[in-house]
Structure formats: structure tokens, C-alpha cells
């Protein structure tokens, strides 16, 4: 049942795909750390540029991930809006200067510092989100669990992630089937009814879905135990790949981003790059 998948593994020939899951995971973590910590506009712009290149190399196209990108954009907008609503002069505090451009009403002023602060927030999100999406779109789900295990996460937890990925399509299909059958019994979720009725109606679909998921879980856990899952402290992985030359290069690159990014950020003793002083 090939419906529009929101976010999944997209198999394409590219150097990014060829990297092992572990490499991509470590790279992604390093990347996230830097972009979360830093407010340094120079670092962010640099990363944005690097990110764009990686995106290009990965053969993933914007429209493959457009749905999630759209959601991220909405979230970003809301985030900015709320920051401004609650702290309209936060930029002034951070950059220890105040250049008033104009006032809207009451405490809602527009300062160059606040705008610059919002620019940085936006840049941070623009840095992280595409790389996160790229990580998911370019990593074979089969490698998720083993990658997590390799960086020290318990294989049980890793497998939980992997199983969730395995069963998402099944549950989606089940949801679709159940909701169709229930619609035929007068359960309408299309939004014509009142919110309360709609909530009640969604229970009519969720209850059977939960029951069938519980059955599924019982079957899977039995199947796993019958095949020795959890017997040893460690386990080996059929799909794990050895690190190649490119993996080491990518890991080195990740380390370089981490070091350079953080060094530049903290050079002047603060997370912010301040052009106003």
C-alpha cells in the first residue's frame, strides 16, 4: 500500500548512503552538539554551507522530505513568535547594547539586537533539521540498531528503535483498514462534527488498533525470546559494516567541526558572536 511516506529511508547511490550507520550517527551527534551550543553566526553560516554541500551530495531532493520540512518551518515560525512575545528585548540583554529601530506597542519594540538574535535562532534550526532528516533518509533502518549498539547504547534499547521502525508501516496499514471499516459504521473523522464527538469517534478506531497492537507485541516478543533474544550481554549484527576509508574521513571531519566550531564559539568567552560592540 504505497502511500505518501512522510519520512523514511530513501535508497539512492551516494557517498553519504555508503557511509556506515555508525559514522552517520556520530557525525549527526557532533553536528547537533555544535549547532545547539553555538550562537556564533560565523560558525552557523559555515555549517549551513557545509550542510548544503552534504545535502547536494546525498542525492536526496527537497521534495522527498518536503512534508517534514514544512512542519519544521511552521514550528520555527511559532518558536520565533513566542520568543518575541515573551521576551521582546532578549537580544538587548544578550548583546549588551540597544539600537531601537521602531516600536510597535507598549513593551513590544523592535531592536537590531533582537532581530539578530532571531536570525541566529533561525540559523540554528536551519542547520540541524536538514541534517537530521538526511540522517534518517540516508541510513538503512537495518543499521540503526547496530549503530546505536556500537556507540554504547544497550542493544535492547537499540532493538526497540529498530522494531518500531519495522512495525510502523504495519500499524499504519492497520489503522487505515480499521478507520475505513468504522467510517462505514457512521464514525466520521472528517471534521464536520464537534470536537468532542470527534474525540469520541477516534476512540472507536484507537481501541481496536491498540488491541491488535498488543497482540502483535505479544507475538513479536514470543518470537524473539524463542530465538534467543536477550541471552547474552552482547550480540553480533548481520548488517553491521566495517568502517571504510571514507568513514574515517567523515569521522575526522565531524571531529574537526566539533573542535573548530566550539573553539570559534568560545574564543571570546561567550556563546554569542557580538557584532554590536
Write out the three cell numbers for 67. Answer: 512534508
**How far is it, in rounded angstroms, from Cα 192 to Cα 210?**
25
Total number of residues that touch another protein (CB under 8 A): 53
Q: DSSP letters of 123-191?
A: HHHHHHHHHHHHHHHHS-HHHHHHHHHHTT--HHHHHHHHHHHHHHHHHHHHHHHHHHHHHTTT---SS
Show contacts with another protein in window 126-165 (CB under 8 A). 141-142, 162-163, 165
Write out the three cell numbers for 171. Answer: 500499524
* Binding residue for another protein, selected from 66, 103, 154, 180, defined by CB under 8 A: 180
* Binding residue for another protein, selected from 68, 125, 171, 174, defined by CB under 8 A: 174
* Binding residue for another protein, selected from 62, 195, 196, 226, defined by CB under 8 A: 226
Of 9, 16, 26, the residue nearest 51 (C-alpha): 16
**How far is it, in rounded angstroms, from Cα 6 to Cα 68?**
7
By the rule CB under 8 A, 196 interacts with another protein: no
By the rule CB under 8 A, 13 interacts with another protein: no
Nearest approach, Cβ of residue 254 and another protein (Å)? 25
Nearest approach, Cβ of residue 3 and another protein (Å)? 7
Q: Which is nearer to another protein, 23 or 114 (CB)?
A: 23
**How far is it, in rounded angstroms, from Cα 103 to Cα 114?**
12
* Binding residue for another protein, selected from 29, 119, 125, 220, defined by CB under 8 A: 220
List of residues contacting another protein (CB under 8 A): 1-3, 141-142, 162-163, 165-166, 169-170, 174, 177-178, 180-188, 203-205, 207-208, 211-212, 215-216, 219-232, 234-240
Amino acid at each position: 500500500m504505497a502511500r505518501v511516506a512522510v519520512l523514511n529511508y530513501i535508497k539512492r547511490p551516494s557517498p553519504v548512503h555508503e557511509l556506515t550507520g555508525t559514522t552517520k550517527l556520530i557525525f549527526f551527534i557532533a553536528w547537533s552538539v555544535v549547532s545547539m551550543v553555538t550562537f556564533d553566526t560565523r560558525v552557523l553560516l559555515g555549517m549551513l554551507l557545509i550542510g548544503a554541500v552534504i545535502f547536494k551530495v546525498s542525492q536526496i531532493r527537497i521534495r522527498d522530505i518536503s512534508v517534514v520540512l514544512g512542519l519544521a518551518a511552521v514550528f520555527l515560525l511559532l518558536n520565533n513568535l513566542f520568543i518575541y512575545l515573551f521576551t521582546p528585548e532578549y537580544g538587548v540583554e544578550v548583546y549588551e547594547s540597544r539600537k531601537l529601530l521602531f516600536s510597535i506597542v507598549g513593551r513590544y519594540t523592535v531592536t537590531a539586537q533582537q532581530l539578530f538574535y532571531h536570525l541566529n535562532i533561525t540559523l540554528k534550526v536551519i542547520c540541524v533539521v536538514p541534517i537530521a532528516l538526511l540522517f534518517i533518509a540516508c541510513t538503512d533502518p537495518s543499521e540503526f540498531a547496530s549503530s546505536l549498539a556500537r556507540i554504547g547504547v544497550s542493544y535492547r534499547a537499540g532493538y526497540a528503535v529498530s522494531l518500531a521502525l519495522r512495525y510502523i508501516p504495519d500499524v499504519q496499514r492497520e489503522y487505515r483498514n480499521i478507520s475505513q471499516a468504522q467510517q462505514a459504521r457512521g464514525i466520521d473523522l472528517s471534521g464536520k462534527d464537534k470536537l468532542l464527538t470527534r474525540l469520541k469517534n477516534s476512540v472507536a478506531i484507537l481501541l481496536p488498533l491498540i488491541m491488535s497492537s498488543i497482540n502483535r507485541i505479544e507475538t513479536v516478543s514470543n518470537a524473539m525470546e524463542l530465538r534467543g533474544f536477550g541471552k547474552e550481554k552482547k550480540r553480533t549484527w548481520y548488517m553491521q559494516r566495517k568502517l571504510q576509508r571514507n568513514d574515517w574521513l567523515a569521522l575526522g571531519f565531524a571531529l574537526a567541526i566539533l573542535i573548530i566550531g566550539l573553539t570559534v564559539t568560545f574564543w571570546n568567552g561567550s556563546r554569542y558572536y557580538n557584532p554590536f560592540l
